Amino acid sequence: MQAVQLEIAQQLKVQAPFIDHTDLEAEVARRIAFIQDCLVNSGLKSLVLGISGGVDSLTAGLLAQRAMRELRERSGDQRYRFIAVRLPYETQFDEIDAQASVDFINPDERHTVNIGPAVKALASEVAAFEGQQAVSRDFVLGNTKARMRMVAQYTIAGAAHGLVIGTDHAAEAVMGFFTKFGDGACDLAPLSGLVKNQVRSIARYFGAPESLVEKVPTADLEDLSPGKPDEASHGVTYTEIDAFLHGQPVREEAFKIICDTYQKTHHKRVMPFAP
């Protein structure tokens, strides 16, 4: 079991557990430098990130805002900007948390794009939905929401001459828990390789409120199951996923679920198939 865990962890470039606060601090600095290098090398001046209210976008936003502040201080160029975007589908059930995340990040700019009208307009034109059960339609439209959010972010990034930040990390990558060409699409992924607990640790490093750090993770894409916890979809907990990725013992059932899911979602982690 451990050999399989190690192989998967290597494929996902999983970050080793933080040894102490100094180790954590060094990793934060490395990822901030990564963000800065990506932007400077692109020749662009802004970063765009959708803020959902979860700890992943909160942490990515904190890293991005710090990166932009340091770039401005170092270069004297005030054009470096971080743009935080709220992307609700009509009225988001946890909007209070989302606004609290944006407030704590304190981005250079705040934008809001309600994707509800666009998603509904598209759904009304899709004849393939005819005769489908409500549950199936709801699931498909959940992925449409994620893709529409990324369309909005890239539209803003295009107008602002910037790059789009993604929030994918190892604990989601191993489960394929992202929408292909939706939240899985981005220009840079500063949380890549981290497990869930490490994402939370970085949020705490910045002093984020525990109510946001420990908030129950949810993709919140399905109208029929608003706020459905990620772990209910996974069938395993993030604690078990983190342990798996760090080569620690896990339940046999959890091991099987993670391995099976990793294999089934392989297509999400590679470039499009080509002859």
Report d(CA 151, CA 159) in Å as an integer: 12
For residue range 176-213, list pLDDT tens digits in order: 999 999 999 999 999 999 999 999 999 999 999 999 99
Burial of 240 (0-12, 13-18, 19+ CB in 10 A): buried
Q: In degrees, to the nearest 5, what angle opens at C-alpha 100 toward C-alphas 168 and 154? A: 45
pLDDT of residue 220: 87
> In this model, does residue 138 exceed pLDDT 90?
yes
Structural domains of the chain ordered from first start: 2-269 (3.40.50.620)
Confidence tier at 253 by pLDDT (50, 70, 90): very high
Structure tokens, 1: 């079991």
Q: Which helix (H) or strand (E) element contains residue 232?
A: helix 230-234
Structure tokens, 223: 């109208």
Pair type for strands 162-164 and 81-86: unpaired
For residue range 50-106, list pLDDT tens digits in order: 999 999 999 999 999 999 999 999 999 999 999 999 999 998 888 999 999 999 999
**Backbone phi, then psi, for 192, in 5-degree steps?**
-55, 135
pLDDT of residue 131: 92
**Backbone phi, then psi, for 194, in 5-degree steps?**
-85, 150
Residue 83 β-bridge partners:
48, 109
Contact present, 184 and 175 (Cβ < 8 Å): no
Q: What is the end-to-end Cα distance of the chain in Å, rounded?
A: 34
pLDDT of residue 265: 97
3-state secondary structure of 82: strand
Structure tokens, 151: 């369309």
Confidence tier at 1 by pLDDT (50, 70, 90): confident
For residue range 90-99, list pLDDT tens digits in order: 988 889 999 9
For residue range 20-40, list pLDDT tens digits in order: 999 999 999 999 999 999 999
Between the CA atoms of 205, 209, 212 and 213, what dihedral angle is there, to the nearest 10 degrees? 30
Residue 46 β-bridge partners:
81, 162
Choosing from 27, 108, 168, 172, which is the catalytic residue? 172
Maximal CA-CA distance, the chain: 59
Q: Residue 129: which residues within 8 A CB-CB, separation 6 or more?
A: 123, 137, 140
Choosing from 56, 94, 183, 242, which is the catalytic residue? 56
Q: What is the pTM of this model?
A: 0.95
Report d(CA 144, CA 147) in Å as an integer: 5
172 is annotated as an active-site residue: yes
Please report where in the chains the tokens 């459905």 appear, as a residue: 228
Confidence tier at 119 by pLDDT (50, 70, 90): very high
Confidence tier at 8 by pLDDT (50, 70, 90): very high
Confidence tier at 227 by pLDDT (50, 70, 90): confident
Please report where in the chains the tokens 């090398």 appear, as a residue: 41
